Amino acid sequence: MVTLTYDGSFEGLLTAIFEIYEYRFSDVSIVPADRAQANVFNDHRQSTSDPVKAERVWLGLKKKVSTAALNQLHRAFLSELPGIEDKLYQYVLYVFSSKLSVEYDYSNSFVLFIKQTDQKVRREKHRMEAFIRFQLTGDGLYYAICQPDYNVLPLLQNHFRERYADQRWLIYDSTRKYGIYYDLNTVETVSLSFSEEAGSGKNLQAVFDEKEELYQQLWQQYFTSVNIVARKNTKLHLQHMPRRYWKYLTEKQVQ
Amino acid sequence: MSDRTLEKLSILADAAKYDVSCSSSGSDRKNKDKGLGNASNGICHAYTEDGRCVSLLKILLTNHCIFDCAYCVSRKSNDVKRAAFTVQEVVDLTINFYRRNYIEGLFLSSGIFKNADYTMERLVLVARKLREEHNFNGYIHLKTIPGASDELLKEAGLYADRLSVNVEMPTEQSLKLLAPDKKREDMIQPMNYLKGAIIANREEKKLFKKAPQFAPAGQSTQMVIGATPESDLEVLFMASQFYKQMQLKRVYYSGYVPISNDNRLPAIGTPVPMIRENRLYQADWLMRFYGFKVNEIVSPENPHLDIDIDPKLSWALRNLQIFPVDINKADLQVIMRIPGIGVQSAKKIVSARQFSKLTWEHLKKIGIAVNRARYFITCQSKEFELKDLMPMQIKQRILSQGASKYQPNFSPQIKLF
Ligand code: SF4
């Protein structure tokens, strides 16, 4: 058994897949370097991300499946689920091994798994589009902290850029320790160490626009007022808004 | 903006919350000239503790009202705190909530202040300011005030994504009984006007891409359910007519929340008919997305929807002669009608079966509710459940499995059966 490690990037994974073909590895498992565990029975190999090799795999796939299927692969990759690399590899293998496009063959377990993983990632993306809460700082930056289950920031850029075209904003993923920042022209990936304390409400006056606290109160008031007690349904509430997202929801910060 | 605004917001959000419509979808307004916002995908930004979607800032401009509709908290004779926003306050709230990603836009309604036109003018003014002074491209839903002039409706349509005229009651008699100031005609007439204006605008857009949009998300309406004795048959036939003749985008059903000691109405403390409301939404989905005709769902013999099972299952049990359906052969339209299979799963089935004949294993993985569907289908596997069971037996078996995923869920946003 060969364990092939890669750098954790999508390009790195495509490179690794290329090298499996190149070196004719048979019994192989692809693992991100930081998750690889030493195992005396396995043959360890390391793959180094190479844009040319990655591109060859991508273009090869492009000839076989639709753009929608390619995007699906990318999103499934962003799930970062343990073992997702091998599933993606098996999918690619299946694609290359058959003449027709197999992207709709949900009777194949890898195709179905990728499709279902993609759905989970997309659901998380939608959740973030819904649950991101910006706070306005004194120097006119709208910033938000989040902790998505999957690595969805790359998928959020377009939505937020199109919607908030006239305001500077920053969305920070505190699990993965990086953010995306829009400076009124382009969106860039930024890594910064961020003190979460600043967003906890205690230091509001220091960092925030003078109206920020008022609008947070107004929103909390609104959220309370629209509730209809006679219809209370906690189960449904939690199903739509699982507790793990509450931490950064302005309306859930009232005691 | 201050404590006073906070108080107004609590009064005017509270008074608006009984209007259940919250959808912010159906529009494709783009962000214009690097302005603020767009209206595309209809996101629910939060959910209330009763599980309803919060997508829009839904408020009344004022809860002062010259009318006295018995079912309404803002009715003239009710002893409640009154408040009124200024136009600017509504604009500021909308913009600032929107910028923080709290909302998709604004849903503005109002009690009737002085007269219909005077009130409608102010609603339109808010929308105009948002669009023209703030280049706001988020979603705007304006409620039209019964009796407002066509000119104002026309202007409203130029700024708003959606307009709604609430018919309030499923029948004219009920309206007369509970809302003596209102005339059915004052609701049907603006609906007709809007229908005409929307159709004309769609035609114009085909010829001139640059033609201004008119209510791109169409019009909707709401009926209060359970305040008066109408059957589901009456309610759903009315809804079906609105969809067909008025080309409405949505009909909302609002389970009456008892708020008054008026003896024309259910007493305070009577439970909100939430399951019934949920069943009506399910029936509504069947009409809009599953190709069901209204008379397949309710009929003079079955004027009420079943409370214990959903309308699709009821329909299937009444029509067992159609089943079992061969999942590997049947048309998509037929597969969508099978209990336990939603639109998405039906599509997956039709795609997947091109590659191999589907078995129970495949169907489970695809995510259909096999426990429920198995009484109605055959597939590549040999085992097959529907061995001359009577409708009651199937119903009992399905209910006893108590598939919790399919328990009634009380939100108008439900998707599954
Ligand atoms: S006109 Fe509208 S606000 Fe006024 S009492 Fe009737 S339903 Fe309520």
Cβ atoms of A163 and A152 closer than 8 Å: no
pLDDT of residue A206: 66
As a whole number of angstroms, the longest Cα–Cα distance in chain A is 66
Q: Which residues from chain B sit within 8 angstroms of residue A109, using beta carbons? A: 365
Measured CA to CA, the distance from residue A228 to residue A237 in angstroms comes to 12
* Least confidently predicted of A63-77, B8-22, B376-390: B376-390
A61-75 pLDDT tens trace: 999 999 999 999 999
Q: Are residues A165 and A53 in the same domain?
A: no
As a whole number of angstroms, the longest Cα–Cα distance in chain B is 72
Give the list of residues 6+ apart from residue B109 with CB closer than 8 angstroms, or none.
B16, B19, B58, B59, B60, B61, B123, B142, B143
Single out the residue of B325, B333, B381 nearest to residue B356, CA to CA. B381
pLDDT of residue B65: 96
Q: Are residues A155 and A103 in the same domain?
A: no
CB pair distance less than 8 Å for B274 and A231:
yes
Single out the residue of A230, A254, A17 nearest to residue B49, CA to CA. A230
Q: Are residues A177 and A100 in the same domain?
A: no
Number of domains in chain A: 2
| For residue B97, pLDDT beyond 60 | yes
A108-154 pLDDT tens trace: 899 999 999 999 999 999 999 999 999 999 999 999 999 999 999 99
Q: Is A36 exposed, middle or buried (0-12, 13-18, 19+ CB in 10 A)?
A: middle
- To the nearest 10 degrees (0 to 180), the angle between helices A67-78 and A10-22 is 110
Q: How far is the CA of B219 from the centre of ligand 1 (A)?
A: 19
Q: Are residues A99 and A212 in the same domain?
A: no
B69 lines ligand 1 (CB under 6 A): yes
pLDDT of residue A194: 58
- Picking from A89, A123, A157, the residue at the C-terminal end of a domain is A123
Tokens of B190: 């603006």
- Picking from A123, A157, A192, the residue at the C-terminal end of a domain is A123
pLDDT of residue B402: 64
pLDDT of residue B408: 44
Q: Are residues A174 and A234 in the same domain?
A: yes
Identity of the residue numbered B174 = S
Q: Which residues pair with B250 in a beta bridge?
A: B220
CB pair distance less than 8 Å for B1 and A108:
no
Q: Are residues A94 and A45 in the same domain?
A: yes
Strands (DSSP E) along B150-249, which ranges? 162-164, 219-225
pLDDT of residue B409: 41
* Least confidently predicted of B169-183, B227-241, B364-378, B379-393: B379-393
Q: Which residues from chain A sit within 8 angstroms of residue B101, using beta carbons? A: 132-134, 144, 164
Q: Are residues A17 and A112 in the same domain?
A: yes
Q: Which of residues 156-195 of A touch B (CB under 8 A)?
A: 162-167
pLDDT of residue A205: 55
ipTM confidence score: 0.89
| For residue A21, pLDDT beyond 70 | yes
pLDDT band at residue B417 using 50, 70 and 90 as cut-offs:
very low
| For residue B404, pLDDT beyond 70 | no
DSSP summary character for residue A32? E
Measured CA to CA, the distance from residue A42 to residue A45 in angstroms comes to 9
Q: Is A16 exposed, middle or buried (0-12, 13-18, 19+ CB in 10 A)?
A: buried
Q: How far is B318 from chain A (nearest CA, A)?
A: 30
Phi, psi of A33 (to 5 degrees): -55, -40
Residue written as token pair 């009130």: B119
B243 lines ligand 1 (CB under 6 A): no
pLDDT band at residue B240 using 50, 70 and 90 as cut-offs:
very high
Q: Which residue has the higher pLDDT, B389 or A72?
A: A72
| Domain locations in chain B as residue ranges | 3-297, 311-401
Mutate to test the interface with A, among B48, B57, B137 (most CBs of A within 10 A): B48
Q: How far is the CA of B109 from the centre of ligand 1 (A)?
A: 10
* Type and span of the H or E element at B199: helix B184-207
Query: What is the average pLDDT across B115-119?
Result: 94
Q: Are residues A90 and A140 in the same domain?
A: no
CA gyration radius, chain A: 22
Bin A45: left if φ > 0, else alpha if -120 < ψ < 50, else beta.
Answer: beta
pLDDT of residue A105: 87
pLDDT band at residue B410 using 50, 70 and 90 as cut-offs:
very low
Measured CA to CA, the distance from residue A195 to residue A213 in angstroms comes to 19
- Read off the pTM: 0.87
Single out the residue of A224, A231, A237 nearest to residue B278, CA to CA. A231
A195-235 pLDDT tens trace: 555 555 445 556 888 899 999 999 999 998 888 877 778 88
The percentage of residues in chain B with a pLDDT greater than 70, rounded to a whole number, is 95
| For residue B108, pLDDT beyond 80 | yes
Phi, psi of B253 (to 5 degrees): -115, 125
**A240–B contact, CB cutoff 8 A:** yes
Residue nearest to atom 6 of ligand 1 (CA): B69
Tell me which fold the domain B3-297 belongs to: TIM Barrel (3.20.20)
Q: Are residues A54 and A163 in the same domain?
A: no
Tokens of B134: 């703030």
| For residue B385, pLDDT beyond 70 | no
* Mean pLDDT over the full length of chain B: 89
Q: Are residues A157 and A224 in the same domain?
A: yes
- Bond preceding residue B324 cis, omega within 30 of 0: yes
Q: Which residue has the higher pLDDT, B286 or B272?
A: B286
Q: Are residues A108 and A190 in the same domain?
A: no
pLDDT winner (highest mean) among B18-27, B78-87, B384-393? B78-87
Q: Which of residues 121-140 of B touch A (CB under 8 A)?
A: 135
DSSP track, B160-187 = -SEEE---BSSSHHHHHHH-TT--HHHH
Cβ atoms of B349 and B327 closer than 8 Å: yes
pLDDT band at residue B416 using 50, 70 and 90 as cut-offs:
very low
| Distance from chain centroid for Cα B161 | 15
- To the nearest 10 degrees (0 to 180), the angle between helices B184-207 and B150-159 is 50
Give the list of residues 6+ apart from residue B305 with CB closer than 8 angstroms, or none.
B232, B276, B279, B280, B282, B283, B297, B298, B311, B314
The percentage of residues in chain B with a pLDDT greater than 90, rounded to a whole number, is 62
pLDDT of residue B384: 65
Residue nearest to atom 2 of ligand 1 (CA): B111
pLDDT of residue A193: 66
Query: What is the average pLDDT across B237-243?
Result: 94
Dihedral sign, CA of B324, B328, B334, B337? Answer: positive
Residue written as token pair 């007369």: B176
Q: Are residues A54 and A99 in the same domain?
A: yes
Q: Which residues from chain A sit within 8 angstroms of residue B99, using beta carbons? A: 134, 136, 142, 164, 167
pLDDT of residue A192: 74
Q: In the Cβ-directed half-sphere of B373, how many Cα atoms lie within 13 Å?
A: 26
| For residue B236, pLDDT beyond 50 | yes
- Picking from A123, A152, A167, the residue at the C-terminal end of a domain is A123
Query: What is the average pLDDT across B188-200?
Result: 93
pLDDT of residue A172: 95
Measured CA to CA, the distance from residue A79 to residue B2 in angstroms comes to 44
CA gyration radius, chain B: 23
Q: How far is A116 from chain B (nearest CA, A)?
A: 9
| For residue A35, pLDDT beyond 50 | yes
Q: Give the range of the structural domain holding residue A22, as residue numbers without chain letter.
A: 2-123
